[in-house]
Amino acid sequence: MQSVLEKLDIADESPGVFCGEWRGGGGKIDKISPIDGRKLASVRTASAEDYEAAISFAHEAFLKWRVTPGPVRGETVRRLGNALRDAKHELGQLVTMESGKIVAEGEGEVQEMIDICDLAVGQSRMLYGLTIQSERPNHRLMEQWHPLGVVAVISAFNFPVAVWSWNAALAAVCGDATVWKPSEKTPLSAIAVTKIAERVCRETGADPAIFTLLIGDRKTVGQKLANDRRIPLVSATGSVGMGLNVAKTVHGRLGRTIMELGGNNALVVAPSADIDMATQSIFFGAVGTAGQRCTSTRRVIMHESVASKVRHKLLAAYKSLPIGNPLDKKTVMGPLIDKNAVDLVQHSIQRLKDEGGEILYGGERLSVPGDCYMKPCLATAKPDFDIVQHETFGPLLYLMTYRDFDEAIAIHNNVPQGLTSSIFTNDVREAEKFLSVVGSDCGIANVNTGTSGAEIGGAFGGEKETGGGRESGSDCWKSYMRRQTNTINFSSELPLAQGIEFGAGAGSGTA
């Protein structure tokens, strides 16, 4: 562990604020690894003075960065991607040490950062507008996109670095500066990434404050970001409760938000499904990252004809699951983020029992140093259980059945969240209906692949209580810019739109 920290320039005590310089006048966080309860390092958080300095420096950096040509901005992001490639192994190890996700997932998260940098570099030459046919002669109607300003990025512990990159890489090529408030549960990964970004900016001549870091609590940092009129866009990932608070504040000042909130993701197993593929996807979706992904599979809706077979295969997989130190490559499921996370899952399991659900396997807390481990829980439930309507952020999977396809869709959609969804079927009509307007009501809907593991090329996000935001690929770059519509008259007359004549006798030309 120590060698990884040294390679990433993480000291025993590090300042948690960067705005062109490193500082931290607030309280101290001791980062304890969920793997074994050992202290990794300490971080000095932001004070009120640090906050003001950070936003001021970020705004000054934006004023210079916005007039830098897009392809030149893309060069800084290209070099950032290469620097992340060079540090992939160490950063992946640090993500594992801080969050508890297995090494393959830790390095996979860093690969997401690299991939989004590659996408953003290409986008830096394609920040395109439109030329529109004008109804008036000798007029050109067009739209263009301008940099927006300082973008706040509030990220969660389960993806301690990737979510920042989804926002920051695109915001950077769009001409914006970012202010990053990472989870206080994973501060070291944020510091390591920011130090890499700082080094790259100094090499390219970009103002390092375009990638500002503010580690601190809700009162000192989070609420201030939401209230700050100097920040036109807040991108927030986390719980529905957190999102509601942020959205009310930001929208109260008519600012913009990108919300990536809770998921209660379901996977439908149809009679024609490839059962082996379906169960493999369910297994990864349910226990990957110890069930702490917003895209984790939380509900399995099985046709009665295949329910017994699916249940049998899942039980076999759960019973053979290697649980332990996530730094060991043989481990498939590591710890949850902290003891409180385990407590919350235990509480949900008890609520499930109280409503009449049956525990088929697991759910027990494990006696391991750090007290952050548990066996994943496989259970039966009914769609109308109150606990099923809520997202339990951990390895708790509900199995339920259906008779006809319309019933499956109704069960699937009957939750407040709407992030990601999946169906396993070889019936083309079922597949198409699932993807149609009367099918899945989620922002992401998949056929014959699981709920978890989205590619960066597509827009990522969901509907309903998931927040409606979109990040990453497709045309999400537009969220980080402001649209401007332009009319250019190259005639010697002044015709009005819609053929309106106004004050025809006044002045020269056509009114």
CA terminus-to-terminus distance, the chain:
75
Does 476 participate in catalysis according to the annotation? Answer: no
For residue 496, give the DSSP letter: P
Give the whole-angstrom CA distance, residue 42 versus residue 30: 4
| Token digits of residue 12 | 């025993």
Say what angle helices 162-173 and 103-123 make with each other, to 10 degrees.
Answer: 10
Does 294 participate in catalysis according to the annotation? Answer: yes
Q: Which residues lie closer than 8 Å to 52 by C-beta, 6 or more apart?
A: none
| Residue 341 backbone dihedrals phi, psi, to 5 degrees | -65, -40
Which residue in the list 107, 112, 260, 471 is annotated as catalytic?
A: 260
The sheet that has 256-260: what strands, in order across it?
A: 22-23, 17-18, 211-214, 177-181, 150-154, 233-237, 256-260
3-state secondary structure 27-62: CEEEEECCCCCCEEEEEECCCHHHHHHHHHHHHHHH
13, containing H or E segment: strand 13-15
Strand partners, 163: none
Which residue in the list 174, 294, 372, 442 is annotated as catalytic?
A: 294
For the annotated catalytic residues, the residue numbers are 260, 294
